[in-house]
A and B are shown apart, each in its own frame.
Chain A
Amino acid sequence: MDMNEESSEARKLKCGDTSKCFELLESILDGEVDNSKEMLKEKLAKCQPCFEHFHLEQAIRDVLKNKCTKQAVPNELADSIRRQIQEIK
């Protein structure tokens, strides 16, 4: 979702209700709001704090996904589980 091309000229500098708006933006990023595309586009075009929050949240999600590397699973773990299952069968 690239919203970077929106002009910042028309955006208001203060958000009327950051708590409510930011929580909504987070829900949108989490894919929990249906048909959010138009609403999001309008919100980001009109409100600078919402615009910045959206991009910050998006960046944090990206780094969490890409940089919080998965812990390597010990090789013997799956075998050990299967062995124990065999014992209780």
Chain B
Amino acid sequence: MSEVQRRKYSQEEKNGIFDGEFMPHIDSMYNFAYRLTFDEDDAKDLVQDTYLKAYRFINSFEKGTNAKAWLFRILKNSFINEYRRKSKQPAKVDYQEVETYYNSDDVDYQSTSDMRADSVKDMLGDEISNALNSLAVDFRTVIILCDLEGFTYEEMSKILDIPIGTVRSRLHRARNLLKEKLQGYAKNMGYNTDEEE
């Protein structure tokens, strides 16, 4: 919330922006919050807090610009600053996984090269969802933003406060990790992989 508050909307304008530009994103916001917290009540609180903050700082939002990205940025920051702290599981496990993958160049595709497009297509929603949910939060986030919500790299860069190059490489790592998880499911379910042939 570092933007300079350079305008002052009337009450009517505020209501118009809130109802017309902010509230239509509540489904995506809740889905993002739920995939971050894995808890319905926490997700509700997170979305509610985000909308209250959005209203409070509405003068720093430029009418007609990318409201969805603006809201997602607030939600992501609220999650990091408030909800992640009180999370039962310490975040350092996530960072360890991030560090390991960021510091090794040779993990690419060695363990996923036998994964097949057909076996992915046959998978159930639960398997895909579980694989996504099992990723460390930083990796999960980029996949949600890109693949589920359709944000561009530039938008993701602004939401996450990281350079576009980091968005690209983090996505690449995240997808490798997701493929590993999916491959595990594929093997367990007896789906077709090259190793079995």
- Between A22, A55, A68, the greatest number of chain B beta carbons within 10 A of the residue's beta carbon is seen for A68
**Across the interface, do B116 and A63 meet the contact criterion of CB distance under 8 Å?**
no
Q: Could you count the A-B residue pairs with CB atoms below 8 Å apart for me: how many are there?
A: 109
Measured CB to CB, the closest approach of chain B to A13, in angstroms, equals: 12
Of the candidates B26, B35, B168, B179, which one forms a contact with A27 in the assembled complex, judged by CB atoms under 8 Å apart?
B168
Of the candidates A60, A65, A67, which one forms a contact with B179 in the assembled complex, judged by CB atoms under 8 Å apart?
A60
**Across the interface, do B108 and A22 meet the contact criterion of CB distance under 8 Å?**
yes
B side interface size, CB within 8 A:
48
Measured CB to CB, the closest approach of chain A to B176, in angstroms, equals: 9
Which chain B positions have C-beta within 8 A of A32?
A: 152-153, 168
A59-B132 Cα distance, complex, nearest whole Å: 15
A22-B172 in contact given A56-B116, A89-B11 (Cβ < 8 Å): yes
**Across the interface, do A64 and B108 meet the contact criterion of CB distance under 8 Å?**
no
Of the candidates B27, B34, B113, B148, which one forms a contact with A64 in the assembled complex, judged by CB atoms under 8 Å apart?
B148
A68-B144 Cα distance, complex, nearest whole Å: 10
Say yes or no: is B90 at the interface (Cβ < 8 Å to chain A).
Answer: no
A23-B43 Cα distance, complex, nearest whole Å: 33
Of the candidates A53, A55, A61, A67, which one forms a contact with B129 in the assembled complex, judged by CB atoms under 8 Å apart?
A67
Given A22-B109, A63-B123, 18 additional A-B pairs, CB 8 A: A26-B172, A32-B152, A56-B179, A60-B178, A61-B147, A62-B121, A64-B128, A68-B132, A68-B148, A70-B31, A71-B31, A71-B34, A71-B35, A78-B23, A84-B52, A85-B52, A88-B55, A88-B56
